[in-house]
Homo-oligomer: A and B are copies of this chain.
Amino acid sequence: MKDVAAEAGVALKTVSRVVNNEPGVNAATADRVRAAIERLGYSRNESARVLRQGRTSSIGLVIEDVGDPFYSGVSRAVEDVAIRHGSLVLSGSSAEEPARERELVLTFCARRVDGLIVVPAGADHSYLRSELAAGTPAVFVDRPAGPGLDVDTVLCDNRGGARMATAHLLAHGHRRIAFLGDSPTIFTAGEREHGYREALGDLVDERLISMAHPELDRVRADLDRMLGMDDPPTALFTGNGRLTMTALRALAGRRMALIGFDDFELADLLSPGVSVVSQDSAGLGRVSAELLFRRIAGGGGPAERVQLPVRLIPRGSGELPPEAPRSS
């Protein structure tokens, strides 16, 4: 910048003014400066600007895995909003490990991001307290923050969606409805289990509920066990996208009513089409990013908790009738 000033025969500050499109610069002078910039191939050093202004024009995004379609949808939506606000996105995957989540968040904070969007992996976010107090706003997405942290949160209606799916199966005549969920330590998994239980009421049978990490072998074993019962399930409700696919593989063509939580590409092309409870991943990203930028801009008020609706998409698998009872 010094060189540019010399080249254009003006003061440092004038160059700064031109670079920042600040008003109050003679057009001719500005042109001379721009010419000098062009000639010298100058480009502003953002680090210095950041140091001076204390604003990085970047936000940090911690998700579970960029490779997962649900989270990459969130990611893309956040990115779009950020660009509109002139911000860049620093992102990282926690791989569902609390330690990595913490490390990423603290790294982002050390880089003085203007704000954070976090899909939490852990349950303890006390490490964030000092950052929040220091004025870095954060929005939690998909899952709430650990106890004692008063922070904006954007969630899907997990419980309502699960209730809806289960009720849909009930309405189609099913009474024996199994639930395959992810590990109950995961917030969304627990909420969906609750919704399932609420809809089922007295019909709940603990033997038809299985919650653990979605591995094919586990799912297959569980399904085999359930289907081998005297009064086997006639319908299945799967607690997330990965589980739905795993279950589809494990079922290996056996015909059974099925509704999955979370939509997925090609669900409509399978036969029958897979009925799902669809979450709006893009909406999740968009809403949380907008909330964050409102906070960054100084928007005050108490922490908000937004819940986005989900919707049931019937495609056939959720509308299959119960198998005719076996004549015994």
Mark A residues whose CB is within 8 Å of B: 41, 43-48, 50-51, 56, 58, 65-69, 72-73, 75-76, 79, 83, 88-93, 106-112, 130, 134, 245, 248-249, 264-266, 268-271
Contacts and interface: CB of A to CB of B under 8 A. Distances in A.
Given A66-B79, A76-B93, 11 more contacts: A43-B106, A43-B109, A47-B56, A65-B76, A67-B72, A67-B73, A69-B69, A72-B72, A91-B91, A245-B265, A266-B270
A76 B67 contact: yes
A15 to B, nearest CB: 15
B269 A110 contact: no
A112 B51 contact: no
A111 B266 contact: no
B89 A46 contact: no
A67 B65 CA distance: 12
B79 A107 contact: no
Nearest to A269: B248
Contacts of A83: 92
**Copies of this chain:** 2
Contact of A270 (B108, B110, B269): B269
B269 A112 contact: no
A241 to B, nearest CB: 9
Given A66-B66, A269-B249, A270-B270, A47 B91 contact: no
A106 B42 CA distance: 12
Contact of A45 (B51, B65, B79): B51
Q: Which 7 A-B pairs rank lowest in CB-CB distance, beginning with the nearest?
A: A67-B76, A72-B72, A47-B50, A41-B130, A46-B111, A47-B51, A66-B76
A88 B67 contact: no
A259 B41 CA distance: 48
Contacts of A93: 76, 79
Given A48-B51, A66-B66, A266-B270, A92 B79 contact: yes
